[in-house]
Amino acid sequence: MKKILIVGLGPMGIAHLKSFQKKSSKYEIILSDLNINKIFKHNFVLFNKFKNITMNSYIPKNHEFDLVIISTNSKERYLVVKEIIKYNKIKHLLLEKFLFPNLKDFNLFRDLIKKNKIKHIFVNCWGDSLIKKLNL
């Protein structure tokens, strides 16, 4: 079973979650958002369509993820990615665009990725094409 983390459950995070809906039994999905209780109430029907789903208001630690999708605001994105990489192992990473608000964050991100040898990084790629490309 492939393990997926989605951080940030605004419209884009929810759209990415929906892309895994058809084959949800193949995935263990962990959702992370500071406002998870409010989001759960508004998306109760969608979340209940998934068999293996966990919801957190924090970044999970000590996991190995096949795919991490970061759909937060660009202002906080580097800090989120840094925390995820610090405490977890990641094979593939998907970032929503606009990537970073400044060149400094981009350069820090680039160094972090090189150091931790993330296999693939995608930017704003839709779920179905990503699933096929990564054999998820």
Q: Answer whether 64's CB lies under 8 Å from 89's CB.
A: yes
Residue 58 has pLDDT above 70, yes or no: yes
DSSP secondary structure code for residue 96 in this structure: P
b/e sequence 36-53, b meaning 16+ C-beta within 10 Å: eeebbeebeeebeebeeb
- How far CA 25 is from CA of 21, 53, 95, in Å, comes to 9, 10, 24
For range 4-23, the mean pLDDT: 89
pLDDT digits (tens, 9 = 90+) for 96-121: 877 788 889 888 888 888 888 787 77
Q: Which stretch of 20-29, 39-48, 126-135 has the lowest confidence by average pLDDT?
A: 126-135
Predicted local confidence at residue 32, as pLDDT: 94
Predicted local confidence at residue 122, as pLDDT: 75
Distance between CA atoms of 89 and 36, rounded to whole angstroms? 23
For 8: left if phi > 0, alpha if psi spans -120 to 50, otherwise beta; the answer is left
Residue 65 has pLDDT above 80, yes or no: yes
For range 49-64, the mean pLDDT: 91
For range 53-59, the mean pLDDT: 91
